[in-house]
Amino acid sequence: MKKAISAILMAVCLLMVFTTVASAAAPYQTYTYSSTGFVLTSPDAYVPDSVVDASTSGAPFADIQDIVVGPDGNIYIADAGNNCVYVLSKYYRLIKTIDSFVNEQGVPDSFAGPQGVFVTDKYVYICDTDNNRIVLFDLNYEFKKTVGKPESNLFTEGAIYKPVAVAVDSYDRMFIVSSTTYEGIIVMNDDGAFFGFVGAQKATVTAWQAVWNLISGDSKDEEMVTSTEYNNITVDKDNFLYVTTNSIDEASQQNAIMGKDKSGTYAPVKKLNASGTDVMTRNGFYPPSGEVKVSTSATSKIQGASSIVDAAVGPEGTWSIIDDKRSKVFTYDNQGNLLFAFGDSGSQLGSISTVTAVVYNGDDMILVDRDNASFTIFRRTEYGDTLIKALASQNAREYGAEVENWKDILKRNNNFDIAYIGIAQAMSRDGDHAQAMEYYKVAYDNGGYSNSFKEIRKEWISSYFLIIPVVVILVLWLVFWFMGFAAKKNRAVSLKVGQKNITEELLYAFHVIFHPFDGYWDLKHEKRGSIRSGFLILIVTILAFFYQTVGTGYIFAGNDVSTDSLVMTLASVVVPVMLWIIANWCLTTLFEGEGTFADVFTATCYALTPLPIIIFPATLISNVLVAEEGDLVTMAITIGFIWAGLLLFFGMMTTHGYSFSKNIVTVLGTIVGMIFIMFVAVLFTTLLSKMFTFVYGIVDEIQYRM
């Protein structure tokens, strides 16, 4: 009879659980990021000015691979199709074609597929790719020397040297990207002295490769231990190298973006110092990697992560990268924040079929269209000018001008988070931390908000230095007094005959949490608790989680509290508790458990007592902590869950009269039972949904026919 009732109640409770799960699983909260997030909403900072091709420049472009602007203001273009380098004036008119020369042996020589060019105030460096060398000319375009493949045993046997890009720092060190070299960037001087490799890119290993390596024990698999190669390089005025690659596994690259990985392990662009260490700051919403929200659908025109093929250094610490898959430009500041993005494939002015190179020419930006053998000049707009002014005033620490410039930006684009952050930083430096916090809050910058709040807290602590210890001592005294009062009351009630009142039952919870074995024994056999007191503890626990949802400090919770989140909070407490109670009672009924459904319910609810005891004060304290101290709150709540879990384990063991080993098996069986109930609930929900759809379709068809 008892087992039959158990089965009936289990079926009824399944329906209850289904109702709870169905109502709780529906709502989902969506977050949309503005200018530095999924979709750029800011105005374009550059507009197309003109397209330069054979008809306007006088140069018969065929296959433009690289473009740079020299110290003299001339534009240098490496054309692999015509085996030459074109030199254009600042007005984009052809003034020189470098296509042949007499080499060191006095023999006439020429280029073969040059793909890279770089200009300093001393030399013009040309990557003669298919001839496997670097050729140097002076600024009068007179041949000076050739630098061939460096001699070193660091190169793997049979390695082919094909320089495709070169950058030279202020110490005349050449940093060379070779398309077939996996060891990193080649460093040498113009005399051919080899200094080594820097910035080796970490290899991307698929899950299958990792498993195969583990099985085979072949740790020397070349494909798995060598790094991927770079495709381009440039250098800034401080000798930092910006290197790009599009040979990273796209899934790894995209996962790093969405996971907001700041390590740069799978970043398609890096900022390297002279020793090859990546020093790029990645403080934006997403690390600088091009497109954030990408499609993987087979029907999508453009799929997968960005293919980054070049980088250019702009004014005031800005820098840009190009995605040849989307013909798009992404520009960032020195903190890794996305400032703007523009571009698309097409044939109209401003659209580029396939972008292959980018360079700054003063306030202008030049993008090379490889397919159309041309380049487009983009003129910076008023919006872009104001943005650069704001960055300039920020770098010069002119905080008043910085605030005005950022506010001017917000007049044109009030969704630009970087402007709010810039204003907040200026105000914080000026000592107005309270106002800075408001701007940080608008920009969802919890780190900046925390820093400003830390300064305000310092002022507050210094003002109330004598009062704070008194308050802390008073709170501790009240806690110890209450625990003593509860212990005294529980001892007195232990001698009381008959039913206990609700206050006595609730105070007994403070005895159970510190003395679980005799506490749960008396809870069941001496009737020290009941369903009503257990239900009240459950209600208080739910209220504690509600308070945690709405009352956690902004630094740790943000400001996105909605009705949906409260419903999810309710479900996250009620559903697991009810699933545990139902599954445990049904299982223990079949395995000679001594506890009734009421006993299981009461014992489970009493085990929840540590949660509200810890969550309420932890949530309150979170409002006066800064980001670096968040681990204290996390640790306290973790202790609460562990404490509650231990109480639940020993409570079930005492309630059912199980041994320690049998209780372990029962607990594991209960967890399996919870999963089974959830599966049945989801299955039942799906069947009901299909039945409703079927009946609705029949009724709709009948109405249509009539």
Question: What are the tens digits of pLDDT across the range 392-430?
Answer: 998 988 888 888 999 999 998 888 888 999 999 888 988
CA 564 vs. chain centroid, Å, equals 24
- CB environment 658-678: b (16+ within 10 A), e (fewer): beeeebeebbebbeebbeebb
Average pLDDT score over residue span 26-41: 28
Average pLDDT score over residue span 568-572: 89
Question: What are the tens digits of pLDDT across the range 46-60?
Answer: 888 888 888 888 889
Q: Are 53 and 61 in contact (CB under 8 A)?
A: yes
Residue 38 has what pLDDT? 31
Question: What are the tens digits of pLDDT across the range 532-554?
Answer: 999 999 999 999 999 998 888 88
Position with higher pLDDT, 114 vs 698: 114
Residues making up the chain, counted from first to last: 706
> Read out DSSP for 609-657?
THHHHHHHHHHHHGGG--GGGHHHHHHHHHHHHHHHHHHHHHHHHHHHT
Residue 32 has what pLDDT? 26
Residue 17 has what pLDDT? 35
State the Cα–Cα distance between residues 663 and 505, nearest whole angstrom: 26
Beta pairing, strands 108-110 & 100-102: antiparallel
pLDDT band at 152 (very low <50, low <70, confident <90, very high): confident
| pTM of the predicted model as reported, rounded to 2 decimal places | 0.74
From-to residues of CATH 1.25.40.10 in the chain: 389-463
Residue 154 has what pLDDT? 77
Residue 27 has what pLDDT? 24
Q: Over pLDDT 90: what percentage of the chain? A: 55
State the Cα–Cα distance between residues 289 and 494, nearest whole angstrom: 67
Question: Hey, how many other C-beta atoms are within 10 angstroms of the C-beta on 460?
Answer: 13
Q: Are 426 and 404 in contact (CB under 8 A)?
A: no
> Which CATH class, in words, describes the domain spanning 61-377?
mainly beta
**Amino acid, single-letter form, for residue 9:** L
From-to residues of CATH 2.120.10.30 in the chain: 61-377
Q: Single out the residue of 85, 92, 87, 88 nearest to residue 64, CA to CA.
A: 85
pLDDT band at 144 (very low <50, low <70, confident <90, very high): very high
Instruction: Tell me: pLDDT of 20 over 70.
Output: no
Q: Are 585 and 595 in contact (CB under 8 A)?
A: yes
DSSP E strands: which ranges in 273-391? 308-313, 319-323, 328-332, 338-342, 355-361, 364-369, 374-380
- Choose which CATH entry (1.10.20.10, 1.10.3470.10, 1.25.40.10, 3.30.750.24) describes domain 389-463: 1.25.40.10
Residue 209 has what pLDDT? 54
Question: Residue 559 burial (CB < 10 Å; 0-12/13-18/19+)?
Answer: exposed
Question: Residue 691 burial (CB < 10 Å; 0-12/13-18/19+)?
Answer: exposed
Question: Hey, how many other C-beta atoms are within 10 angstroms of the C-beta on 560?
Answer: 11
**Amino acid, single-letter form, for residue 222:** E
Question: What are the tens digits of pLDDT across the range 422-456?
Answer: 999 888 988 889 999 999 988 888 889 999 999 99
Residue 208 has what pLDDT? 54
**Amino acid, single-letter form, for residue 84:** C
Paired residues of 338 in beta bridges: 332
- For 470, the 3-state DSSP assignment is helix
Q: Are 166 and 177 in contact (CB under 8 A)?
A: yes
Q: Single out the residue of 127, 86, 68 nearest to residue 312, CA to CA.
A: 68
Locus of tokens 């306007």: 56
Question: Hey, how many other C-beta atoms are within 10 angstroms of the C-beta on 146?
Answer: 17
Q: Over pLDDT 70: what percentage of the chain? A: 89
Question: What are the tens digits of pLDDT across the range 53-95?
Answer: 888 888 899 999 999 999 999 999 999 999 999 999 999 999 9
Residue 698 has what pLDDT? 85
Q: Are 63 and 84 in contact (CB under 8 A)?
A: no
pLDDT band at 36 (very low <50, low <70, confident <90, very high): very low
Average pLDDT, the chain: 85
**Amino acid, single-letter form, for residue 464:** Y
Residue 181 has what pLDDT? 81
Angle formed by the axes of helices 382-395 and 417-429, nearest 10°? 30
Element (H, E) at 551: helix 531-551
